[in-house]
A and B are shown apart, each in its own frame.
Chain A
């Protein structure tokens, strides 16, 4: 058994929580209990990230010192390829993240390893690794396998696998990364300015609108409704892209995550995977949509198939304005 290698993801000197989900996933991937799970932390000062990944299920932490502090596709590629070359794990886990979009496929292509992305379930069937991902706009599920590949790289969907709860003390080893010429250089980070002082990540009750609102003129009535029911108004990507609401109100993969939300009312949102990424963890989701087949109903607790304007008006009347 050659082991499982998890590549940690960090940003701005912090290990991103999705890394721990990968560790959790790695646990269930062990074919025998002795199979070792190693987590590689990459960066300018990788030792500082060790405590963040010292959780149950991690046997070893590999610190890889890189020239640049922030994401550098060439350095990451070279490092991960070298790690795989040296350790020969049977399974390499990365998050299906923006950083991974920038280099994971390059690693797989150059090294000719098995490769699948956005995997939300995987396991071994008859000794062969089988990974499941979505297809045709998430309308079907596809099982992939990797015949004759000794190493398989998977990027895992965020928010699916459970991170381990307990702490642990894995061994820490440094790994020398090969030098890589930096052809892409980090310059700066730009915060998307919050036009209004709203923080979606702390809101406990969110009313989010999507393409179903139709036109910009209709946003106002939902703003009023949100105020009446005591919710923070949020939106899906198309609304923010069109400029109808500031980007700070966007919830989803490239927007905010409704981390503190307990009640999420989605009106006119179909439930594209990128939006779900930001809210599907919420304990009570109520979806209102004219399309009975909208994906949002698969993650919602309650659903109403209907006209969002009629429901909005009727709902408003139950709350003092």
Chain B
């Protein structure tokens, strides 16, 4: 069997479009997931039982079901839900991209929430007392004192989870979205170039993830407070 590089060249722009979508999902997933996840983490740590109960239930639910199922739910149920809520009676079409972004934010937030919560718990209780004693409001304490320390303490884990998120984006093939793997699959099946396509995307996934994990490794060494200039 011959490996045809020409097939790769002609498919390259399409693959790059897929890669771009993969990166988009990752970026939206990280940004939205960390923000929503941090709110969930704060809610879980809150004294308010209703708030912490809701956040705990949400996190446990999301972490107990496969991502692929969440993608299906959002894709098939949300149009019905919107239709029902807006009295259309019929489902309202929601684009694949919007479905995917929403899904990844909702799903990843549960994982980021647990990481950020661990970050908050790693801060000494004395820091909370110091904020209180200085009269900082809860909001100011979280924004300026606690959150920066929490994130810093768990940054390596946060990035590791992001690498997993990057790989998980490939699951969007179930609703026929064209991410990196989706693009490769489509061309592979159209042109019968399975080996070239799957090898290529394998290399691309590897390069991104390996680079990111090396970055995490470096970061771990530089994160101690004492080492700062």
Do A and B belong to a common assembly?
no
Residues in chain A within 8 A of chain B (CB atoms): none
